[in-house]
Amino acid sequence: MHIPVTLKLAVKSNDIGFNMIDRETKSRVQYQKTCVDCDGRIVRQEDIVKGYQYEKGQYVFFEDSDFEKLKTKKDKTISIEKFVALAEIDPIFFEKAYYVVPDKPAQRAFALLLTAMGKEKKAGIARTVIGTKENLVCLHVAGKAMILNTMHFDDEVADAPTISGEAPNEQELRLAKTIIGNMTGKFNPKDYTDEYRAKVIAAINSKIKGKNIIPMKEGKPVKVVNLMDALRKTLEAV
């Protein structure tokens, strides 16, 4: 089944942009591209090429067109190699998220694949080249949308650190399970907002009005040494 699609970024950045300013002149700091043997000459963007150093000081050079020549039709498509249960994939492998949008002539075929994958609760594993890098990707259904997540390859994920320590006893485990049970609920992303970002925006507005930033007051955390006391105190708080 061949379905022409386009990808649209599913996540936007809400970062607050700050410029680098010289403290004395109050003017913006600019970064200019030069090179080791340029004697201070500014290098234009159109004069920059990618170079791979195969020996010290020796490079082979690549234009964007060279990378395009390496791509086959298969590299420019998303070919599903197998279907797996989405729950089997460790979230640590997920990278960027895109919405998959079908071209008009393929909407019916796309709807069929979307519905079937959703009902079977399956994700499609595929490979495709984005830019100059081959990506392992996961296609899965979220509501009425198809999501494509680029993924890390296995050799890109570091081994988890080994955690040593005394195993919890049955009483500690029962109490911990009780705490988890009492704190369990449904995840609603609308319940969570970037509170620190709101503080930064408020601070920016205060600075614009010529006001100083007042340090936030917060109580000192209670230091608890005994694990059972910590669990009991947590249960009481819950």
Rg (Cα) of the chain, in Å, rounded? Answer: 26
Per-residue model confidence (pLDDT) at position 42 = 92
Give the pTM.
0.70
**pLDDT tens-digit readout, 95-149:** 999 999 988 888 899 999 999 999 999 999 998 887 777 889 999 999 899 999 9
d(CA 176, CA 234): 9
The structural domains of the chain, with segments of one domain joined by +, span 5-13+71-156, 170-237
Provide the token pair at 176: 């911990």
* Other beta carbons less than 10 A from residue 222's beta carbon: 7
Q: Is the dihedral of CA 91, 13, 156, 100 positive or negative?
A: positive
Domain 5-13+71-156 has CATH 3.40.1380.10: no
d(CA 193, CA 235): 26
SS3 call for 65: helix
